[in-house]
Amino acid sequence: MKTLGWMCVSLVLGAAVCHPVSGQPVAPAGGGVDASRVAAPLVPRSVFFGNPVRSQARVSPDGTRIAFLAPVDGVMNIHVAPITDIEKAVPVTSDRGRGIPGYSWAYNGTHILYIQDKGGDENWKVYSQDVKAGGPARDLTPFEEILGPDGQPIMLPSGDKLRPAARIENVSHRVPNEVLIGLNKRNPGLHDLYRVNITTGEMKLVAENQGFLAFVTDDNFSVRFAIRPNTDGSMAMLRAQKSADAALSWEPFQEIPAEDVDNFDPLMFDVSGKVLYARDSRGRDTAAIVAIDAATGAKQLVAGRENCDAGTILAHPTDNTLQAVEFTYDMPWWTLLSNDLKKDFEFLKKIDHESQMLVTSRSLDDRYWTVAFIPDRASPSVYLYDRVGAEGKPTRTLLFKTQPELEKYRLSRMHAVVVPARDGLKLVSYLTLPPGSDPDNDGVPNRPVPLVLNVHGGPTARDNWGYDPEHQWLANRGYAVLSVNYRGSTGFGKRFLNAGNMEWAGKMHDDLIDAVNWAIDKKIADKSKVAIYGGSYGGYATLVGLTFTPDVFACGVDIVGPSNLETLLNSIPPHWGPYIDVLTRKTGDHRTEEGRAFLKSRSPIHFVDRITKPLLIAQGANDPRVKQAESDQIVEAMKDRNIPVTYVLYPEEGHGFRKPENRLSFYAIAEQFLAANLGGRAEPIGDALKGANLTVPAGAELISGLSEAAGNH
């Protein structure tokens, strides 16, 4: 799934319809994909998009246990096993809702920390689970309301109370029984910093937020710096000064120009606490790893590349020595900063030298690692790596494959391609073709096929090479799938990133059109059968595609996409307030008359009359980023003009669909939509809506089988 920046979503869609008896694919009326040219059986939706069998393996700090996520009655929960036998795992949490999205071990080795929201509202709570004693998890942030200046709860237009949103700010092996948590219970727009005991829940205020976006703390939980936004979109980095009474004051330290804001990220301090490692593009184009003297501000380059930003880092678990940095232009690769890990990488690469390799956890003594290998056309695999071994030789043990059912099916290669934009920018993109359509494996099918342009959200995010269930699912149905890192995407330097400023529905969209034309010119895509879909910004791009370039696309799928940039900016969550000047620098300023006029010119809601192609819209009712009103208003505008549209609404979801039943129901609906408009292979809706919570406020009759399925689910 994609991860998608300041407007992020975890879902995009695809297509499918099978004969109810034979299970063989049936082309919709009007022709479509020649099923005989897709040399692979139809893979069930649940194999691609159901819960993983297991995921997110993490070794405990003391190296005695392994934790991972796995379903319990269909809901993802945390399990813990002895490090010597993962099959002895037992669940230690008992979530019965949308599942636990992620977790980490506390450094005391007896507790696990995780976050959970309510129905996708992103008002996160932080929980602590005792894995030894068992019992219910402890809510470390047990607050249900934010009080206003009058001492009364702040109420939302819906009549609900405004709830605080917590976030984990820091954990440290030096403070194993505590966690630093940011919480906006005092002011909805600002996260104060609290030190919380993991076992008892005792909470102590560490620093009150004075208009900061973030605090920077060290391994002793001392507040060292804060980042404060300026009105021009730049940031000020302030150094904390502690007085005799322990009160904090702030002095200027460094400035972060607006063009560098998205490429500046404080990472950690060295073991002495005197050097701050950061990801930083100041003074260069691409973001590099740098060492900043915490006293003088002097900066030294640690690792950087000219064509892409620095990504994931590896550091020693206790002495904080930087050991390796991952860089990704089109394909990922690791740069070792010393010989510390050379033998480890050589050993691990023998397991799988073609896949992306990620070290996901390390024990404090650095003996045990969990390592994930992510190929492009198979299930990710997760190993336990013992650097010492029973006889002094390193060993590796396969813990699990996340989706072992995938091994039954033939999947397609993901090609990394570079598409030229009309103004010369290079757009790193990823192309997947239907199985059997490209026997010489040159990235061009024997004849043009329908194309799905899969637009990532954010837009400050990027597409990457590796296993992508959306790509494989759509390719299996008979479509070419193209994901484009359009300008404004991250990972390719600040010039590329900032080239997207004020270009929503402008040059950012031109890049997508250039990519479609490239695919047509290369005889990859059938010009008459190109779909655009995506989530969040990708949903917005879908609406732009059907209004600004209506002749290019045969249909569109919009998931939680904004239709009106002015109303989008007027309805951001309160705690995004300090970031508003950065957002308006990218999109346009809703606070000025000139800015509102510009936003209107880039908002699909004002060009609804141009929509002539089929459109499917999906929305989570609790979405705090792109409110339900963004979908409601464009659906109503289309209905007022008698323009057909299908609208699917999920009452218990937010910015993306996390509950498996909801997720699978939407894929089933989208399959029918794409199959009808592009002619792809498909499997029937069947009972895919069973257990899902959804309504179809408009256009159920436009998708085959939806009215009946929605009425019976």
Would you list the DSSP string of 630-685?
Answer: HHHHHHHHHHHTT---EEEEETT-BSB--SHHHHHHHHHHHHHHHHHHH-------
The answer on 522 and 478 residing in a single domain is yes
Mean pLDDT of the chain, nearest integer: 92
Catalytic residue among 437, 623, 632, 665: 623
Would 491 be classed as within a structural domain? yes
Listed residues 601, 618, 651: the one ending a domain: 601
- pLDDT reading at 31 higher than 60: no
List the alpha helices (DSSP H) in 530-659. 537-548, 565-570, 580-587, 593-601, 628-640
DSSP state of 98: S
Q: pLDDT band at 37, cuts 50/70/90?
A: low
Domain that holds residue 585: 568-601
CA proximity to 275, closest of 335, 337, 319: 319
- Both 412 and 552 in a single domain? yes
Please tell me which residue in 412, 536, 563, 631 is annotated as part of the active site.
536
55 included as an active-site residue: no
173 part of the active site? no
Length of the chain: 713
Residues 532 and 613 placed together within one structural domain of the fold: yes
Number of domains into which the chain is organized: 2
Helix (H) or strand (E) segment spanning residue 454: strand 449-455
Say if residues 430 and 489 touch (Cβ distance below 8 Å). no
Tally of CB atoms within 10 A around 236:
16
Q: Is there a cis peptide before residue 44, judged by omega within 30 degrees of 0?
A: no
Q: Which of 710, 606, 605 is nearest to 648 (CA)?
A: 710
pLDDT tens, residue by residue, 348-377: 999 999 999 999 999 999 999 999 999 999
In this structure, the strands spanning 356-362 and 275-280 are: unpaired
Assess contact for 467 and 377: CB atoms under 8 A.
yes
pLDDT of residue 11 exceeding 90:
no
Q: What CA–CA distance (Å, rounded) separates 697 from 301?
A: 55
Residues above pLDDT 70, as percent of the chain: 94
Residue 503 DSSP label: -
Mean pLDDT across 326-345: 96
Could you read off the pLDDT of 559-594 as tens digits, one per residue?
999 999 999 999 999 999 899 999 999 999 999 999
Q: Which of the four pLDDT bands, split at 50, 70 and 90, describes residue 503?
A: very high
pLDDT at 155: 85
User: What is the value of pTM for the model shown?
Assistant: 0.93
Which pLDDT score, from 0 to 100, does residue 448 have?
98
Task: Answer yes or no: is 126 within a domain.
Answer: no
Residue 199 has pLDDT above 90, yes or no: yes
Question: Based on the domain organization, do 451 and 594 belong to the same domain?
Answer: no
Residue among 317, 318, 315 at smallest CA distance from 336: 315
The helix/strand/coil state of 468 is coil
226 vs 577, residue with greater confidence: 226
Instruction: Please tell me which residue, 264 or 8, carries the higher pLDDT value.
Output: 264
Quick one: 480 and 621 in the same domain? yes
How many CA atoms, within 13 angstroms, populate the side-chain half-sphere of residue 223?
A: 30
Of 675 and 713, more confident: 675
Are 435 and 572 members of one domain?
no
| The predicted structure's pLDDT at residue 133 | 85
Residue of 13 and 466 predicted with greater confidence: 466
List the beta strands (DSSP E) in 37-154. 55-59, 65-72, 75-82, 90-91, 103-105, 111-116, 125-130, 138-139
The two structure tokens encoding residue 125: 């709570």
Residue 153 DSSP one-character state? B
Question: Stretch 242-254: mean pLDDT, rounded?
Answer: 87
Residue 590 inside a domain? The answer is yes
More confident: 159 or 74: 74
Q: Which residues contact 85 (CB under 8 A, 6 or more apart)?
A: none
Same domain, 557 and 618: yes
What tokens were used for 472? 């494989």
- The reply to whether 307 falls in a domain is no
Examine the residue annotation and report whether 623 is marked as an active-site residue of this protein.
yes
Q: How many angstroms separate the CA atoms of 607 and 604, rounded?
A: 5
- In this structure, are 615 and 485 located in the same domain? yes
Say if residue 585 is in the same domain as residue 686.
no
Residues near 435 by beta carbon (within 8 Å), at least 6 away in sequence: 38, 39, 40, 410, 411, 412, 475, 476
427 and 487 assigned to the same domain: yes
**Is residue 122's pLDDT more than 50?**
yes
pLDDT at res. 14: 27
Backbone angles phi, psi at 569, to 5 degrees: -70, -25
Which pLDDT does position 5 carry in this prediction?
A: 32
What's the rounded mean pLDDT across residues 237-254?
Answer: 89
Whether 349 maps to a domain, the answer reads: no
Q: Are 500 and 487 in contact (CB under 8 A)?
A: yes
Tell me if 662 is assigned to some domain.
yes
Q: Which has more pLDDT, 256 or 686?
A: 256
Say how far apart CA 700 and CA 662 lie, in whole Å. 16
Banded model confidence at residue 29, pLDDT cuts 50, 70, 90: very low
pLDDT in the model for residue 642:
97
Answer yes or no: are the C-beta atoms of 113 and 131 closer than 8 Å.
no
Considering the domain boundaries, does residue 560 fall inside one?
yes
* Domain membership flag for residue 659: yes
> Are residue 582 and residue 631 in the same domain, yes or no?
no
Look at residue 20 in the predicted model and tell me its pLDDT: 25
Q: Span 638-647, mean pLDDT?
A: 97
Strand partners, 155: 161
The pair of structure tokens assigned to 602 is: 């880039």
Q: Report, as an integer, the average pLDDT of 332-346.
A: 95
Residues 530, 578, single domain; the answer is no
Q: What is the pLDDT of residue 303?
A: 98
Residue 115 has pLDDT above 60, yes or no: yes
Instruction: Give a three-class secondary structure readout of 366-384.
Output: CCEEEEEEECCCCCCEEEE
Where residue 432 falls among pLDDT bands split at 50, 70, 90?
very high
